[in-house]
Amino acid sequence: MKIRAAVIAAIICLPAFAQSTDPQPPMSIVVKAAKLLDVRKGAYVENAAIWIDGERINEVGRATDVLTHAPKNSRIIDLGHATMLPGLIDCHTHIMGRIPEGDDGYVLNLATKSQAFRALEGAYNARITLQAGYVTIRDVENEGSGYADVALRDAIKQGLAEGPRMQVATRAIAAVGQYNPFGVSSDLANFPTGAQMVSGVEEVRRAAREQIGHGADLIKVYADWNHPTLTVDEVRVVVEEAHKQGLKVAAHATTAEGIKNAVIAGVDSIEHGHGIDRADLELMKAKGTFLVPAERHKNEPTTPEQQRGYDAFMQGIQQEIQMAMNLGVKIASGFDAAEASGQGKNADELAALVRRGMPPLEAIRAATLNAAELMGWQDKVGSLEPGHFADVIAVDGDPLKDITILQHVKFVMKGGTVIKDEGSHQ
Ligand SMILES: [Zn+2]
């Protein structure tokens, strides 16, 4: 009886209690630090602050100005001597990938892991990627995990999992027999594949429509695999279907002809591109096609012969990047993480770009302004400006002098929520 009386009292009291609490507007936040990198101007704002309301930025500038305008009861996050930058963006990742190293790794990954397990791996990768300061990613193929990347993207959006803002390509499209896994017995006709395998324009069209129907934000095609594979007509059909829906097309291409085919067909970005020639780059410049170098060399050389091959590969990449910069081709950065060892290490790509002759500011732009433009999200992410999501990272030191400090991000905020604060900035 007593319990029932208490319950009734609680029910009666509840509306009165609810009414007595005035609805509070969400509290403003001001994040301040010694420096803020304005990636558009390419200059620091000293003694800077960002006023954030909810998920978005309201004002960016010198702390003395911002603090005068922000509400007096704003929560202040003082990052001391740190340098603030926009949340970083990786335009070429495989967030569902924890593919074992070695020649059989890809087959084993498909053969031994359930889709449910793959989804959980993706959730882990997403969390460590966000913690590394990559607040936005463009995933360019889930390596045989069905549509688990769509599920992960949506779970993150709903707050069920922690991770970056995501655009996902889902399964990708490749010519039959021209993408992983290789070496599977011909008797295993139904063995899962890394991409959706197609032949002919109608199959390509169906694959693009299916992927879009299942939630793809962009379409990835394999224009070549060491040799040209999909035809210009096949790629053109993908571009037609994607562009009709306002979606972009990313093309893996590493041969001069594969790159040319993809660019002529109208893709929005060339991924890797390390066999690129001047004619390809001129065509890309003329058509506004992005280059996402994503040149990570996955196998470290162990013999002198491998070392020679590695050196030649790296020299080719250096030429590619310098020629692209000289011609004014837009470059966005992507690390191509696909194994456990690469996940969350996305900023290694920025250090690699600088090693190949890119000025640090341009490397940072490749992971902010340019990346946002490639994703079509330039009005939301990629720079610290009013109206943009409050995606802020902070590091100790000067990333324009030493790009490698971006490999050690101390503070991460996504949409006004603090994800990580190591608190050692004072
Ligand atoms: Zn890749």
* Ligand 1: centre distance to CA 372 (Å): 18
- Residue 131 shares a structural domain with residue 211: yes
* Ligand 1: centre distance to CA 94 (Å): 6
Query: How far from each other are the two terminal CA atoms of the chain, in whole angstroms?
Result: 58
Give the number of C-alpha atoms closer than 13 A to the C-alpha of residue 256, restricted to the C-beta side.
7
State how far the Cα of 162 lies from the Cα of 86, in Å rounded to an integer.
19
* CATH at 391: 2.30.40.10
- Residue 196 shares a structural domain with residue 248: yes
**Per-residue model confidence as pLDDT tens for the chain (426 residues):** 444 444 444 444 444 444 445 556 568 999 999 999 999 999 999 999 999 999 999 999 999 999 999 999 999 999 999 999 999 999 999 999 999 999 999 999 999 999 999 999 999 999 999 999 999 999 999 999 999 999 999 999 999 999 999 999 999 999 999 999 999 999 998 999 999 999 999 999 999 999 999 999 999 999 999 999 999 999 999 999 999 999 999 999 999 999 999 999 999 999 999 889 999 999 999 999 999 998 776 667 889 998 888 888 888 888 999 999 999 999 999 999 999 999 999 999 999 999 999 999 999 999 999 999 999 999 999 999 999 999 999 999 999 999 999 999 999 999 999 999 997 555
- Residue 271 shares a structural domain with residue 335: yes
Q: Are 400 and 360 in contact (CB under 8 A)?
A: yes
* Ligand 1: centre distance to CA 220 (Å): 10
- Residue 272 shares a structural domain with residue 408: no
* Ligand 1: centre distance to CA 139 (Å): 9
Q: Which residues contact 109 (CB under 8 A, 6 or more apart)?
A: 97, 98, 99, 100, 143, 144
Q: Are 250 and 277 in contact (CB under 8 A)?
A: no
* Ligand 1: centre distance to CA 143 (Å): 9
Range of the domain at 102: 88-346
* Ligand 1: centre distance to CA 81 (Å): 37
* Ligand 1: centre distance to CA 92 (Å): 6
- Residue 126 shares a structural domain with residue 248: yes
Q: Which residues contact 251 (CB under 8 A, 6 or more apart)?
A: 220, 221, 222, 223, 235, 258, 259, 262, 265, 267, 269, 270, 271
State how far the Cα of 233 lies from the Cα of 252, in Å rounded to an integer.
16
| The total number of structural domains that make up the chain | 2
Q: Say how many C-beta atoms besides its own lie within 10 A of residue 246's C-beta.
A: 8
State how far the Cα of 415 lies from the Cα of 294, in Å rounded to an integer.
27
Position 11 scores a pLDDT of: 43
pTM for this model (two decimals): 0.92
Domain contains 377: no
Domain contains 157: yes
Of the residues 287, 317, 346, the one at which a domain ends: 346
- Residue 307 shares a structural domain with residue 414: no
- Residue 74 shares a structural domain with residue 93: no
- Residue 176 shares a structural domain with residue 265: yes
- Residue 174 shares a structural domain with residue 317: yes
Domain contains 359: no
Domain contains 14: no
Domain contains 357: no
Peptide bond into 360 cis (omega under 30): no
* Tens digits of residue pLDDT in 238-263: 999 999 999 999 999 999 999 999 99
* Ligand 1: centre distance to CA 93 (Å): 6
State how far the Cα of 135 lies from the Cα of 368, in Å rounded to an integer.
10
* Ligand 1: centre distance to CA 409 (Å): 24
Domain contains 21: no
- Helix 278-287 and helix 304-327: axis angle, to 10°? 40
Closest CA relative to residue 409, chosen from 155, 87, 150, 190: 87
SS3 104: coil
Q: Are 255 and 228 in contact (CB under 8 A)?
A: yes
- Residue 96 shares a structural domain with residue 218: yes
Q: Which residues is 417 bridged to in the sheet?
A: 414
C-alpha angle 272-278-282 in degrees, rounded to nearest 5 = 90
- Residue 102 shares a structural domain with residue 80: no
- Residue 187 shares a structural domain with residue 156: yes
Whole-angstrom CA distances from 184 to 110, 117, 180, 297, 375 are 11, 22, 10, 24, 35
Could you tell me how many residues make up the chain?
A: 426
* Ligand 1: centre distance to CA 34 (Å): 37
